[in-house]
Amino acid sequence: MNLVLSPEQQELRDTVRSFLGTVSPLPKVREGYDPDVYARLNGELGLSGLIVPEEYGGSGAGFAELAVVLTETGAALLPGPFLATTFAAIALTRVPDKELLTGIAEGRVVATLAQPAGDDGLVAESADGGVAVRGTLARVLGGMEAGVLLVPARTGDGMVLVAVDLTGEGVTRTPLETLDITRGQARIELDGARGRVLGASPQDDGIGDRLAVALAAEQLGVLRASLDSIVAYAKIRVAFGRYIGSYQGVKHKLADMHCKLEQAESIVRFAAWAADESPEELPAAAALAQAYVGRACFEVARDHLLLHGGIGFTWEHDAHLFYKRAKTDEVLLGPPRIHRARLADLLEL
């Protein structure tokens, strides 16, 4: 098991952090998705192709590297479809599709992945060389930005993963008002939208676990940046003639938050390592990552906001951006209890 970053991974982290600090500082984050920033992220840093195998034009890196990058995009609250496209790439590496993977690696294709729950499933019927897809998706991450939607759909031959062209006919997209103003979701209605079958969509394909790990890496970044922000403020804000960080009421809370950071970081490293190296440990590691890091991230973001005092409650201050991203991420893959239930099953309790 490897829980420590290699020198190369540290360099990757520093590069991404410094890049985002320059091209996507927080004042810019408030303006939302900037396709130029996204293009530079993929062009100059090649991030969209990070986990795409080399044979498809990517870097063929592992989850250890992906986690490093997502932690930085999380810390920067990067707007736009980077996480959505990463989710799609994760699904595509499980049902390798040259065209889309190459497009993602080259930064040409912005994609997203939806996992409809229960009866909200889609139906795909054969239609001139592909399929026509019908159904409604209530909430799709990056749904307005993506050109391609990956989604399971029912056919006569069972469940398949289809790639739907969101730019074509039969697609109605409605942007949703979201708690997180830095990253959008959309309602998508498909009424005979053009799609292409990528392969069968097995129940336990490891995609869900990998999404959980990727999201936890982003959450680790949100947690870390929240803590950094309030620690910095505690060193300059004065109350009753003393820096607030000198009061144990603040100091001890920050120490507890640091303990959460240390544990969250350890878990994300472990889960990323498991995704790369230890498939049998991955399911429990992924569920652990969401169960622990998702909660820790919101708690730290919440306390970082509260410890800012009144200014943290204002729209102008950035604290609420982290708080809202943390809450949105916590429920992104479903109510958090599903991860705990999964853990209970995996532990054979």
Residues that bind a copy of itself (CB under 8 A): 247-249, 251-252
Q: Can residue 332 be called a binding residue for another protein (CB under 8 A)?
A: yes
Per CB under 8 A, 178 contacts another protein: yes
| 127 makes contact with another protein (CB under 8 A) | no
CA angle at 318 for the pair 237 and 306, rounded to the nearest 5°? 55
Binding of another protein by 269 (CB under 8 A): yes
Distance CA 163, CA 299 (A): 37
Residue 245 binds another protein (CB under 8 A): yes
If we measure between CA atoms, which residue out of 200, 113, 131 comes closest to residue 170?
131
Residues 226, 249: Cα–Cα separation, whole Å? 18
- How many residues form the binding site for another protein (CB under 8 A)? 80
Q: Do residues 109 and 49 make contact, with C-beta atoms less than 8 angstroms apart?
A: no
- Interatomic CA distance for residues 334 and 85, integer angstroms: 19
The nearest distance, CB 337 to another protein, in angstroms, is 5
State the pairing for strand pair 185-200/171-175.
antiparallel
CB of 23 to another protein, least distance (A): 26
The residues in 195-234 that bind another protein, with binding defined as CB under 8 A, are: 231, 233-234
Among 176, 200, 205, 206, binds another protein (CB under 8 A): 176
281 Cβ contact list (under 8 Å, min separation 6): 274
User: In angstroms, what is the minimal distance from the CB of 303 to a copy of itself?
Assistant: 14
CB 209 within 8 A of CB 221: no
132, amino acid identity = A
**Interaction of residue 316 with another protein, rule CB under 8 A:** yes
Pair of tokens at residue 269 = 């490293």
CB of 7 to another protein, least distance (A): 10
306 binds, among a copy of itself, another protein, none (CB under 5 to 8 A by kind): another protein
Least Cβ distance, residue 151 to another protein (angstroms): 15
Residue 43 binding result from another protein, a copy of itself, none, given CB thresholds of 5 to 8 Å by partner type: none
HSE value, Cβ hemisphere, 13 Å, CA-based, for 274: 23
At closest approach, how far in Å is the CB of 249 from a copy of itself?
4
CB-nearer residue toward a copy of itself: 179 or 255: 255
What span, in angstroms and rounded, lies between the C-alpha atoms of 230 and 239?
15
Q: Which partner in another protein, a copy of itself, none is near 158 (CB below 5 to 8 A by kind)?
A: none
Cα dist from 41 to 76, 143, 249, whole Å: 13, 20, 41
3 vs 255, beta carbon nearer a copy of itself: 255
Closest CA to 50 of 104, 1, 119: 104
To a copy of itself, the closest distance from the beta carbon of 273 in angstroms equals 36
Q: Which of 180, 209, 218, 276 binds another protein (CB under 8 A)?
A: 180
Residues 283-312 that bind another protein (CB under 8 A): 288, 291-292, 298, 302, 305-306, 309-312
